[in-house]
Amino acid sequence: MTQANCADSSPDFNEVLQLRLSRRGLLKGSLASASASYLGVGTLAATGVVEAQAASTRLRLNFNAVAKSLDDLVRLPTGYSYKLLLATGDPIAPGIPAYSNAGADEANSFSRRAGDHNDGMYFFGMNNQARWDSSASERALLCVNHEAITSAFLHPQGQTIVDGKRTVDTEVVKEMLAHGVSVIEVRREAGSYSLQKDSLRNRRITTMTEIEISGPASGSPLMVTRYSPTGKRTRGTLGNCANGHTPWGTYLTCEENWAGYFRRPSSDDAKRNPQQLTALKRYGIAGKGRELWATASPDGNDQRFSRWDASVTGASADGSDDYRHAPNTFGWVVEIDPFNTDVSPKKRTALGRFAHEGAWPGPVRTGQPLVWYMGCDARGEYIYKFVSTKLWDPADATKGMAAGDKYMDDGRLYAARFNADGSGDWLELSFGQNGIDSTSPVYPFANQADVLVHARLAADAVGATKMDRPEWGAVNPRNGEVYMTLTYNPSRDFNQLDAANPRFYRDAKAGKQGQGNVNGHIIRWAEQGSQSGATHFRWDVFLFASRDNADQDNVNVSGLDASNDFSSPDGLWFSRTGLLWIETDDHAYRDSSNCMLLAAIPGTVGDGGQRQIISRDGEQQKNVTTHVGASATMASLRRFLVGPVDCEITGLAESPDGKALFVNIQHLGETTNDKGFDIVKPSTYLSHWPAGGDARPRSATIVITRDDGGTVGADLV
Ligand code: FEO
Ligand code: CA
Ligand code: CA
């Protein structure tokens, strides 16, 4: 049930903000409007205007909690509805036939169809001049990542593999085109949004798209390939997981699980020196290659496919006749200008190379550096921060990729260390600093390009804190505090618990995932000093995920109940009002519920206190003191949505007026293979969402609106 009466009389936070700003004469013309709206509370807080505003507005959740569910449905609170916007294979250009959803579609048509596995996304409001306007809600370019594929459902009977090789080229082409990014125009119609299939602005960026390598690693010998002997270009983006955006209206798509796609047999080790082997091992470049794409070119001559073979096959010393360096051209933050189809996307190498989940901007303040927060999503990996060298000039808000060249190709990269006393440090990853140089014992670095290409090794060298799998981050627009999910970690070593990753427990119902940090947690920090200049912070754990009936002293530390318990937080997103959305990609609580979306009204770092958590492994016991946020309550955290069977809930975007929330339902039925799945027997598919019946499941973007037209999730009171 919704509380519609509250919304009717409460103006949207952004509207209140703009009204106050208008009164003060700060908004002049559309650019000022766009910038101020984008800059939001952070920038304006510097003026003191918004701090007063934030203090006078409180949020109240405007829905009743949705119960946990195992149904093959999207469950929403009473008073809310959703519409399907963009599902796997949907045409995004005129003349492309409707998706067959039986594997029958022509392979190349995927360059004009939505890809698979919808993930991170962003709503770029568009004004009447078809320019970016962050206050525009009626019309927009929506950028949607397509992280990966459920290959079986893309072909009539799954992948054709003979003697370990892909033998049907068109299947591989279709799969390569089903990864990447969709840019689609959407318009508000009848209270929700519709895809404008005929828009000339619709486009796909895929594993085939030519992309520039920009920043300090461009032209490095580490980037030389047969495709680009100068090391300044590469082909495609891959593993497009979460995302980010810039104050000049461009999209950041982040390359996460790219390493596994490369083939590199163990016989290649003999052709590598010890330093190269250290780097290849640290990034996991080994094995047959996920999806076996390289095998579609048995003689190595068809570069569409041979570029996925990262072994030394050529005679050159520099790698200009093979793809030994191809993995170095993936694992980056990639900038795309959705409003300019003429410019090539760029890989921004100054932000480092790892399993990039996303890149979340900090508050934007005139005359100060820009900041992006990032996480490397693998067990025991790090949290990073990038700080631009150049100081923000609002005149650059219309400069597109040229602004990216200015702010994102030059800056400092840091990795985070979380100390037991609740303090934290940003450790700079610059050549010649903090022991990162040619004398580094594990991996001697040659220069800054080497540091960025091997950012994980640089973070190892400075002693950053190994986290329980960093997924999404989000920055609270009210106070600049940064939140990041640590999704779960069954590999958390009992002997290496620390204050920021303090839990080790067992859960028999969670199967093979039921050991270690079984359910994950959400950490947050407050920079000490200016956001961009700070090298120290204070942190606590905002929420520990858990079953509601788990041990409250050591597992259900945040006091979750049946209305808000969850597992494996992944997606994270702040509405402009300061409402925090939490999405799950769960592996350990599936006996009780499918994945979900929750809404939270967060407090501030330090609003809880110290807690001692006791972990046990057989006869051994470890006591770790940590710093926890205030316990959850019915007023501060509620389940808003539960998805269909075997899905992940991921990706969030909202219309600037807060009346529509875009959410992705990803990889339904993905684990079907583990459970006796037979592609020719629809009854064995774990999910049939969204079509139902015997249909193959499809990943999709949905648009959620409130039936009374109010703001989604919370009202300002
Ligand atoms: Fe693609 Fe880390 O989720
Ligand atoms: Ca994720
Ligand atoms: Ca995940």
Q: DSSP class of residue 23? A: H
CA of 652 relative to ligand 3 center, distance in Å: 14
Atom of ligand 1 nearest to the CA of 487: 2
Q: From the CA of 487, how far away is ligand 3's center (Å)? A: 6
**CA of 148, closest atom in ligand 1:** 1
* Closest atom, ligand 1, to C-alpha of 357: 2
Give the mean pLDDT of 287-293.
97
> Do residues 572 and 533 make contact, with C-beta atoms less than 8 angstroms apart?
no
Phi, psi for 298 (deg, rounded to 5): -60, -35
Ligand that comes closest to the CA of residue 117: 1
Residues 6 or more apart in contact with residue 432 via CB below 8 angstroms: none
Question: Which DSSP helix (H) or strand (E) runs through 27?
Answer: none
Strand, coil or helix: what is 600? strand
Nearest ligand, CA 355: 1
Shortest-distance Cα residue to atom 1 of ligand 1: 241
Q: How confident is the model at residue 657 (pLDDT cuts 50, 70, 90)?
A: very high
pLDDT digits (tens, 9 = 90+) for 238-252: 999 999 999 999 999
How far, in Å, is the centroid of ligand 2 from the Cα of 485? 9
Q: 583 CB less than 6 Å from ligand 1?
A: no
**Residue 541: strand pairing partners:** 523, 628
| Cβ–ligand 1 contact at 471 (below 6 Å) | yes
CB atoms within 10 A of CB 575: 23
Distance separating alpha carbons of residues 254 and 242, to the nearest angstrom: 6
* Residue 47 confidence (pLDDT) above 60: no
Helix, coil or strand: residue 317: coil
Q: Of 96, 196, 65, which is closest to residue 139 (Cα–Cα)?
A: 196
Given a cut of 60, whether residue 59 has pLDDT beyond it is yes
The mean-pLDDT minimum among 65-79, 277-291, 674-688 falls in 674-688
pLDDT in tens, 340-374: 999 999 999 999 999 999 999 999 999 999 999 99
- Ligand 3: centre distance to CA 520 (Å): 11
Predicted confidence at residue 675, as pLDDT, reads 64
Ligand nearest to the CA of 354: 1
Residues 148-159: pLDDT tens digits? 999 999 999 999
pLDDT at 14 over 50: no
Residue 33 is predicted with a pLDDT of 35
What are the phi and psi torsion angles at 391 (to 5°)? -95, 140
Taking the mean position of all CA atoms in its chain, how far away is CA 561? 27
Tokens 């060249």 label which residue? 405
168 Cα distance to chain centroid:
32
Beta carbon of 256 within 6 Å of any ligand 1 atom? yes
**What's the CA-to-centroid distance between 589 and ligand 3, angstroms?**
14
H or E, element range at 601: none
686 ligand 1 Cβ < 6 A: no
337 Cα–ligand 1 center, Å: 23
Does residue 450's CB lie within 6 angstroms of at least one atom of ligand 1? no
Cα–Cα distance, 279 to 87 (Å, whole number): 38
Q: Which residue has the higher pLDDT, 132 or 25?
A: 132
What's the confidence (pLDDT) of residue 319?
Answer: 98
User: Is the pLDDT at 8 greater than 70, yes or no?
Assistant: no
Q: How far is the CA of 585 from the centre of ligand 3 (A)?
A: 5
Beta bridge partners of 703: 83, 662
Structure tokens at 395: 């005149």
Give per-residue pLDDT as tens, 416-448: 999 999 999 999 999 999 999 999 999 999 999
The reported pLDDT for the residue numbered 330 is 99
Ligand nearest to the CA of 377: 1
What pLDDT score does 326 carry?
98
C-alpha torsion sign, points 691, 694, 695, 697: positive
Query: Is 527 near ligand 1, meaning CB less than 6 Å away?
Result: no
**Percentage of the chain modeled with pLDDT above 70:** 92
The model's pLDDT over 662-685, given as tens digits with 9 standing for 90+, comes to 999 999 987 755 667 888 899 999
Closest ligand by atom to 381 CA: 1
Evaluate: CB of 468 within 6 angstroms of ligand 1: no
Alpha-carbon distance 29 to 23, whole Å? Answer: 14
Query: Ligand 3: distance of its center to the CA of 569 in Å?
Result: 8
From the CA of 587, how far away is ligand 3's center (Å)? 9
Measure 241 CA to ligand 3 centroid, in angstroms: 10
Q: Is 571:147 a contact under the CB 8 Å cutoff? A: no
> DSSP string spanning 665-712?
EE-TTGGGGGGT--TT-GGG-S--TTT-TTPPP--EEEEEEETTS--S
User: What number of other Cβ atoms are within 10 A of residue 368's Cβ?
Assistant: 19
The CA distance from 224 to 244, in Å, is 28
Tell me, using a 6 A CB cutoff, whether residue 481 lines ligand 1: no
Say if ligand 1 is within 6 A of residue 255 CB.
Answer: no
Ligand 1 atom closest to the CA of 119, numbered from 1: 1
What is the DSSP secondary-structure string of 347-393? Answer: EEGGG--S-EEEEEE----TTSEEEEEEEE-SEEE-EEEEEEEEEP-
Q: What is the mean pLDDT of the chain?
A: 92
**Residue 147: CB within 6 Å of ligand 1?**
yes
pLDDT in tens, 214-233: 999 999 999 999 999 999 99
φ/ψ of 398, rounded to 5, equals -110, 10
Give me the count of residues in the chain: 717
Pairing of strands 383-391, 369-376: antiparallel
Specify the residue for token string 């508000």.
Answer: 188
3-class SS string, 108-125: HHHHHECCCCEEEEEEEE
708 C-alpha to center of ligand 3: Å? 33
Nearest atom (ligand 1) to Cα of 256: 1
Measured over the CA atoms of residue 522, residue 587, residue 499 and residue 417, the dihedral's sign is negative
Residue 15, pLDDT > 50, answer: no
CA distance 663 to 252: 18
Is 50:44 a contact under the CB 8 Å cutoff?
A: yes
**Cα dihedral 547, 551, 556, 561 in deg (nearest 10):** 60
Nearest CA to ligand 1 atom 3: 241
Q: How far is the CA of 571 from the centre of ligand 1 (A)?
A: 9
Starting from the CA of residue 375, give the closest ligand: 1
On the question of pLDDT at 202 being above 90, the answer is yes
Whether pLDDT at 266 is above 80: yes
Gap from CA of 465 to ligand 1 centroid (Å): 20
Nearest residue to 664 via CA among 588, 607, 581, 604: 581
Nearest atom within ligand 1 for CA of residue 242: 1
pLDDT of 627-647, one tens digit each? 999 999 999 999 999 999 999
Rounded CA separation 497/506 (Å) = 15
Q: Specify the ligand 1 atom closest to the Cα of 257.
A: 1
Binding site membership of 565 for ligand 1 (Cβ less than 6 Å): no
435 CA distance to ligand 2 centroid (A)?
32
- Cβ–ligand 1 contact at 654 (below 6 Å): no
Cβ–ligand 1 contact at 381 (below 6 Å):
no
Judged against a pLDDT cut of 80, whether residue 5 lies above it is answered with: no
Question: pTM score > 0.85 for this model?
Answer: yes
Residue 29 pLDDT greater than 60, yes or no: no
Cβ-contact 595, 649 below 8 angstroms: yes
Q: Which of 144-153, 235-244, 516-525, 530-539 has the lowest mean pLDDT?
A: 530-539
Quick check: 682 and 101 in contact, CB under 8 A? Answer: no
Q: Which residues surround ligand 2, an ion (CB under 5 A)?
A: 471, 570
Gap between the Cα atoms of 467 and 469, Å rounded: 6
CA neighbor of 583 nearest in space, from 704, 495, 420: 704
377 within ligand 1 shell (Cβ under 6 A): yes
